[in-house]
Amino acid sequence: MIAVVHRFTTREYMKLHIEGRTELIEGIIYDVAARNDPHRLAVNRLSKQLQIALPQWQVQVQDAVAIPDWDGDNAPEPDIAVSKNEKNPSAVDTAAIIEVSDTTYDWDRRKVKLYTAAGINSWIVNIGQHRVEFFCAHQDAMHTAFHGGETFDILGVSIAVSSLFEVPA
C-alpha cells in the first residue's frame, strides 16, 4: 500500500485545532520542537525590547504567519514576527521575522529561506554560536553576522547581541 499525503493550504490548516505546537511547511504539518531555557530567555528578552520600542506594530510570539498568503501552503510559526496585522498576518503585513535557534538551526535556516523569498527581512539568534545572523529580503545567503559586544538593528531598534544570552552567575 502506498502512503497518501494530504497537503493543506494555510486556510485549511488554520481551521484545524491541533493540540500541541505545529507548523505548516510546504503543505505538510510538522510538530515543533520543545523550547528550552536558553531559547525561552532569548525570545522573551527580544520580544520585550521590540514591544516597548515599536508600539505601532504587533510583536507576535510563536504565531503562524502565512507565507506568501492565506491560500498558500506555508504557515510557519516564527519565534517573533513584527506585523501590521494581529489576526491572520501574512508576508505582506510582516516587516521582520526572528527565529531563535538552539537545537533547530537547520530547520530554522530552511524557514528563513521562505521568509526572505517572501520579501521579509529575517534574523536568526544562533544560541550555540552566541551571534545574530541577518538575512536580507529576496536573498538566500546570510548577509551579516553580529557577535558579542555588537548591536544589530530591527526596524530602527538597536539591540545588543549580548542582551539575548544568559549571563553566567
- pLDDT, tens digit (0-9, with 9 covering 90-100), for 48-101: 999 999 999 999 999 989 998 888 888 999 999 999 987 888 999 999 999 999
Its CATH class, for the domain covering 10-164, is alpha beta
Average confidence (pLDDT) over 10-34: 88
Average confidence (pLDDT) over 135-140: 89
Main-chain phi, psi angles of 72, to 5 degrees = -80, -170
Query: What is the pLDDT at residue 73?
Result: 86
Does 169 have pLDDT greater than 80?
no
Query: What is the pLDDT at residue 168?
Result: 56
The residues spanned by each domain of the chain are: 10-164
Does 141 have pLDDT greater than 60?
yes
Pairing of strands 94-101, 121-126: parallel
What cell does 45 get? Answer: 528578552
